[in-house]
Structure 1
Amino acid sequence: MKIEELEADRTWLAFDPMRQLRPHLTSTGFVRLVNEVQRPEGYRLIASWDGELGRVASALGFRQVTSLASGRHLAVDDLTTILVARGRGHATRLLAWADREARRLGCEHIQLGIDTHRHEAHRLALRTGYAISTFGLTRRL
């Protein structure tokens, strides 16, 4: 297992895990959205390689944010692992990487956004030291 940050020319490598989380995106649409919209806003993409599979098995996307309510923090928008690689520790190691990076950047904490229906992800987050501190509410426009 190897963890590395993916630069813009390698964004496509994270598409397989990301489509597990964001099935509405096409490969081209994913790369374009990340590289042309999100990266200029500070989004970074981290990948976990599975040696057995020989490809990226898990990905984490985040931004460094400062807000009045939360101060300086990392906002993890995307964390996902392909089905065949779940349970191998990829997401746990990506969260540990994010923790080290947040400390390096002088962040006060990490906010991890998880959709309400992703119960396995909730269990992982709680098991790795995250706590439910707020509820994010959404209203479609």
Structure 2
Amino acid sequence: MTRELVPPETPLAFRAMQALRPHLTDAETFSEQVDQVLRPAGYRLLGAFDDEGADGADAVAVLGFRFVSNLAWGRFCYVDDLSTLPEARGKGYATALLERVHEIARGEGVSMVHLDSGVQPERAAAHGLYFSQQYRIASYHFSRTV
């Protein structure tokens, strides 16, 4: 089951998000960052839940996204975060979240969904998922510390 997480449910995403973002060490600080900084800028959060999980159970996978516009692509959906708990990987949760964000994007009249993914060897399974969902490598992403 997938659904959008809204305050005060943000802490339900913490464990799954921490699997991707290990520098996040505190659920309260994470929730404050999401709810007070990211959400006002348009960030939204989807969670996937084990069908056997009780109400209030942590999400086993999460997807954070936002709608943005630029000159290159016009208005599009950008996936900032997609993470699954290690013990829940390979069970279709990330696929379900991607399919849900595709539905949301279509509903918003947006035809493109973009995401970036690291190139470390441990990201190979994620890349396989993206290719299976018809994503393609469209550009290099460069960054620099200043």
TM superposition score normalised by structure 2: 0.92
The offset of 1:140, in angstroms, is: 1.5
Instruction: Output the amino acid matched with 2:132.
Output: R
Q: 2:78 aligns with which of 65, 75, 80?
A: 75
Does 2:127 correspond to 1:122?
Answer: yes
Does 2:67 correspond to 1:64?
Answer: yes
Report what 1:108 is aligned to: 111
The offset of 1:53, in angstroms, is: 5.0
Distance (whole Å) between structure 2 residues aligned to residue 46 and residue 88 of structure 1: 17
Q: Does the Cα contact within 8 Å between 1:81 and 1:90 map onto a contact in 2? A: yes
Identity %: 40
Instruction: Output the amino acid matched with 1:46.
Output: L
Structure 1: unaligned runs, 5 residues or longer: none
Find runs of 4+ consecutive structure 1 residues off by over 3 angstroms: 52-55
Does 2:18 correspond to 1:22?
Answer: no
Instruction: Output the amino acid matched with 2:117.
Output: I
Report what 1:99 is aligned to: 102
Distance (whole Å) between structure 2 residues aligned to residue 107 and residue 67 of structure 1: 13
Instruction: Output the amino acid matched with 1:18.
Output: M
Report what 1:85 is aligned to: 88
| Alignment: residue pair count | 140
Distance (whole Å) between structure 1 residues aligned to residue 50 and residue 145 of structure 2: 37
Q: Does the Cα contact within 8 Å between 1:3 and 1:48 map onto a contact in 2? A: yes
The offset of 1:22, in angstroms, is: 0.6
Q: Deviations over 1:89-110 (max 9, x none)?
A: 0000100001111100011200
Report what 1:12 is aligned to: 11
Instruction: Output the amino acid matched with 1:19.
Output: Q
